[in-house]
Structure 1
């Protein structure tokens, strides 16, 4: 991942966290269900892939016309974080094949960032456990922006922090909401079908089924082919 003078190659790599780096969507689903169980919600059949915790909780309350105060939301988020941290201590968060290797290789050549709809308190302990936290130049979490994915704000902020144009960044996402956010910011967007079918990710610039064996030169080649 070189740093050329033009935008024809990759200047930075921005990855979603849950569903791209770690196989964790089912763990977050379990944690949210545990927190919401006493409230008696009717849980949808499909997990909320790419949603922030706050958006999920607001959606569940709105679906049954139940008020959700800011204080109650903060309490639910704190309880969910406690469940996640117990999961982390139990070693349940595992990286997808190729994700750690890609981060390590890319960080040797340029900045790498995480751009997530998750909460920082739930992201950083996992990255530290996986040994890649020092490799990251920036982490944008849900607390950093007024609007989360599918709004482009998280990716715009990540690019701003790196002093780069979004169009010079490659983003890797796993959800339709994430792809919409990255594309809306102007990033070259690769979807990896870890959690969602390729058909639902068709608006991405490129679709992969896995990150296994993917290298920074591969990302640059995808970018050149698209442009």
Structure 2
């Protein structure tokens, strides 16, 4: 295992409820509505810029370029306010894994469909930004998850073969992105049940089940 690539929302932090609240309020302000169930079934893992036109079409609307930019800014304002007022839950076991992997000199990267300003806002609060050798966000790629581009770019920046990299993901779209780039993937059931993550190389109930040794035990037979 030459590098460990972490998804952000749903693996390091439990921010999807805040994203849902900010996005649903933004669309409601423009007379478009969808349920929380629909959000988790259809919309998680997409970058906002890719997601907003999809939601609009599902609501029988087409967004102009100007409307898209306006709604993205409205969502960011709402999301940032929620983060500052409510805080963001994080997964202690994932933070422990990041610290342990860092101490073991395993290269660590972040690969997310979130905007970079989301990442900086939240990881700055957690004081772990410096542990990541590189961060690939939605700002860095023309196509975000489920496209392989984010993970391909992360591996390229790290100068690591994707076949020797392990991604931690919590959604089918994220899993598809990492597999498409050639990485091994451990599905983490923080957001969705195990059957929704069945395409991952391995699936665990939570990051509490993951240590460096446990991941090596799971995946080393696949490299031999």
Q: Which moved more, 1:96-105 or 1:59-68?
A: 59-68
Q: Which moved more, 1:13-22 or 1:61-70?
A: 61-70
Instruction: Map 1:57-68 onto structure 2 (within 5 A).
Output: 57-68=52-63
Distance 2:86 2:33 in 1: 29
Match of 2:27 among 36, 48, 53: 36
Instruction: Map 1:187-226 onto structure 2 (within 5 A).
Output: 187-212=183-208, 214-226=210-222
Q: Which runs of 5+ in 2 are unaligned?
A: none
User: CA deviation digits over 1:45-65, x for unaligned, max 9?
Assistant: 332221211222101222244
Aligned residue in 1 for 2:38: 46
Shift of 1:172: 0.3
Asked if the contact 1:97/1:210 (under 8 Å) is kept, the reply is: no
Shift of 1:119: 0.6
Moved over 4 A (4+): none
Q: How high is the TM-score relative to the length of structure 2?
A: 0.92
Shift of 1:91: 4.5
Match of 1:101 among 81, 93, 96: 96
Asked if the contact 2:112/2:138 (under 8 Å) is kept, the reply is: yes
Distance 2:203 2:8 in 1: 17
Say whether residues 1:23 and 2:53 are aligned partners: no
**3-state SS of paired residue (2:54):** helix
**3-state SS of paired residue (1:28):** helix
> How many residues are aligned here?
218
User: CA deviation digits over 1:138-192, x for unaligned, max 9?
Assistant: 1111111111111100000000000111111100000000001101111010000
Structure with greater proportional helix content = 2
Q: Which runs of 5+ in 1 are unaligned?
A: 1-9
Distance 1:33 1:91 in 2: 17
Aligned residue in 1 for 2:163: 167
